[in-house]
Amino acid sequence: MRSRTTVGGGLAALALGLSLAAVPTPAQAAIACDVGALQTAITAANVNGGTIDLAPNCTYSVTDPQAIGPNAMPVITNDITLNGFNSIIERSGTAVTLFRIFEVGGTSGKLTLNRVTVRGGHSASNGGGILVNSGRTLTLNAATVVKENESDQNGGGVFSAGHVFLNPGSRVDDNRAAISGGGIHSLGDATAQSANVSANRALTLDGGGVFNGTGATLDLRTTTISGNHAFDDAGGVFNDGTVTAYGSVIAGNTSLDQGGGVDNNSGTFTFTSGRISDNSTNFRGGGVHNSATLNLITTVLRANHVTVPALTSHGGGLYNAAGTATLTSSNVYSNTVAPPGNGGGIFEQPGSTVNLVTSTVFSNSPDNCQPPGQVPGCSG
C-alpha cells in the first residue's frame, strides 16, 4: 500500500486517484539540495511508495549515474511522487557517461512529477530523459518540463511502453532522438490534456514531436504540438496506432519527405474541433499524409505547404496516398504546393478515397484538388 514517506517531509498525502496535483507549498523538511540525498530518498520510498519534497530553487546535477540503466536516479519501482519548487534534476554538463534521468520499472513503478524540470539526459538506448517500462506509469503535472534530453535511439524526451499522462501545464520541449520520436515515442498509451510538445527533433526517421507505434493509443485534448521536425516523415505526429484528438493544434512542424504535420501511416487518426496549420514538408502532404483511416471533423486545415518544386510534389493540405480520408464540416484553404507540383488543397492518389461531407476546399494554390474530378465536391 502506498504511504507517505517521511524522508523529504512535510506535505499531507496526495489523495489516491487524483490525476492533477494541487500546486504544492514548500515543506519544512524538504530533501537537501544534494544528489546523494535525493537518491537515498528515492531508494527509501521504493519500499512502500511515498511523496518526496525537493529543495526549493535547487538544481540536482548528476555527474555519476546509478549502475542500472544507467540512470541518474534509482529505478522507480513503487508509487512515488516528487514535488518540486522550481526544482531541476539534470545530467551535469561535465558528465562523461551517457545516462537518462529516470526509469520507471519494477513490478509496480509509478512516477508523478509536480513542478519539476527534467533536463540534459543523454541515453545510448531508448528514452533520453525518461524510460517507462511496460505496464508502468508516468504522470507529468503542472509546470513539469521534460527538455533538452537526447536518445541515441528512440524517444528523446520520453520513451514509453506503459502509460503516460501529460496534464495541464506540462511540457515536452527541445528533445531529440537519433531515430524516431523526438519528444515522445510511445508503444503503450499516452494522454495529453492542455499540454505542449514543442521544438523536438527526430534525426533519422519519423515523428519529430510524437511517434505513436503499432497498437499504441494517443489521446490529445486541447494540446499543442508545434515547431517539431522529422528528418523523414511527420514533423508533428507519426501514427501506426490509434490517435484521438479534440480541440488541439498541430502547427509549425516540418519534415523532409512527407507529412509536415501528421503522417497517419497505418492506423486510425481522428481529429475533432482543432487546427492543423502552418506545417510544411518537401514532397507530399504539407499538413497531413494519410495511408490508412483519417477523420477530420470540424477541423481547419490551412496554410500548410509542400515546398520543393517538383512533379512529384503534391497535397499542400492533404495527400491521401491510400485508405480513406473523410472530412466532415471542415475547411481546407490557403495551402500551397510549389509548381510544377499540384493539389494545393488535396491530392487523392488513384485507388484511395477522399470523402467531403459538408466540407469546403477553397483558395489553395496552384489549385484545390487533383487529379481533376477525383475528389467529389471539390473543383478548381
CA distances from 376 to 184, 331, 336, 365, 369 (A): 37, 15, 20, 19, 10
Cis peptide before 366 (omega within 30 of 0): yes
What residue type is assigned to position 273 of the chain? S
Question: Is residue 56 assigned to a domain?
Answer: no
209: number of Cβ within 10 Å: 34
CA distances from 211 to 71, 93, 177, 231 (A): 23, 28, 11, 13
Question: Is residue 72 assigned to a domain?
Answer: no
Q: How many Cα atoms within 13 Å fall on the side-chain side of residue 250?
A: 35
Q: Give SS3 for 218.
A: strand
Distance CA 57, CA 51 (A): 18
- What local confidence, expressed as pLDDT, does residue 29 receive? 73
Question: Is residue 66 assigned to a domain?
Answer: no
Are the C-beta atoms of 5 and 38 separated by less than 8 Å?
A: no
The cell for 251 is 502547427
CA distances from 217 to 164, 191, 197, 273, 358 (A): 10, 8, 17, 19, 29
List 258's β-bridge partners, or say none. Answer: 233, 284
Distance CA 157, CA 177 (A): 8
Domain hosting 268: range is 78-91+101-370
Question: Is residue 52 assigned to a domain?
Answer: no
Distance CA 151, CA 170 (A): 20
Are the C-beta atoms of 327 and 348 separated by less than 8 Å?
A: no
59: number of Cβ within 10 Å: 15
What residues in the chain have per-residue pLDDT under 70?
A: 1-28
Q: What is the DSSP string of 290-305?
A: ESSEEEEES-EEES-E
Question: Is residue 60 assigned to a domain?
Answer: no
| pLDDT one-digit tens code per residue, 268-316 | 999 999 999 999 999 999 999 999 999 999 999 999 999 999 999 999 9
CA distances from 281 to 117, 151, 231, 357 (A): 32, 24, 10, 27
Question: Is residue 147 assigned to a domain?
Answer: yes
- What local confidence, expressed as pLDDT, does residue 379 receive? 86
- What local confidence, expressed as pLDDT, does residue 5 receive? 36
Question: Is residue 28 assigned to a domain?
Answer: no
Question: Is residue 22 assigned to a domain?
Answer: no
Among all chains, which residue has been given the C-alpha cell 523529504?
A: 8
- What local confidence, expressed as pLDDT, does residue 15 receive? 35
What residue type is assigned to position 172 of the chain? V
The cell for 268 is 486510425
Are the C-beta atoms of 213 and 239 separated by less than 8 Å?
A: no
Question: What spatial distance separates the first Cα and last Cα of the chain, rounded to whole Å?
Answer: 65
Q: If phi over 0 gives left and psi between -120 and 50 gives alpha, with beta otherwise, what is residue 283?
A: alpha
Distance CA 21, CA 210 (A): 25
The count of domains in the chain is 1
CA distances from 341 to 177, 214, 283, 334, 345 (A): 31, 32, 9, 16, 12
